[in-house]
Structure 1
Amino acid sequence: MAMYIRVKRNKTTYFLQCDATEKILDIKQKLHNLIDQPVIDQRLILVTTGEVLDDSKTLADQKVENDAVVALVLRKDDNEFEDVNIVRPDDFYQSRDSDTTGNWSL
């Protein structure tokens, strides 16, 4: 049965169609095709639990459900993985400037 997951990194979200029986390694391969980062340099983390997803297990094995949010982190030069950095949309929306230019505050 088809499902979707949202893979987030920084300010970017990738919507991936997948199947609950797909292994995490397969998901990483789909991401490799999108972002040109080797599978070995990717780590996926289920945002709701903070659990690092195991390459050899399926989405269903790790209780990743339809419309789940998964964080993508990449390996840094020092061979460590970067910290999770997901920018939430409400970080961008603030009150409108009081000036007449029509510019938004950032």
Structure 2
Amino acid sequence: MVVISGQLIVKICNEEYNRPTCMLLGVQEELSVIVSDLTMILGIAHGLNLLFGLDLFKCVFLSAIDVVLFPLFITLLDKCKMEKLFASIAGLALLFYVFGVLIS
């Protein structure tokens, strides 16, 4: 939602641009989402590779499973439980990082 006008960006584009331009903007947006998801998956895979020393194929597979299961966990658990789960995972990652720094 656009803060200034209070309208959705799709509605503003439909009013301002012709149909081919709107379609081009839609394709560009979808490509941007795909690239963003791929960047997230590869970033998680690289982090798993660095943390645990697994090969990249297994890390990409694990991160893809994470991306697929994330919406499922959101629908199955309520918001409070999800926030506790995320805080626990972030704390565990911080703990591993601190241990890694202390060991090295």
Same fold (TM > 0.5): no
TM-score bracket relative to the smaller structure: under 0.3
Higher relative contact order (CA 8 A, sep 6+): 1
More helix by share: 2
**TM-score calculated relative to the size of structure 2:** 0.20
TM-score by length of 1: 0.19
Higher share in strand: 1
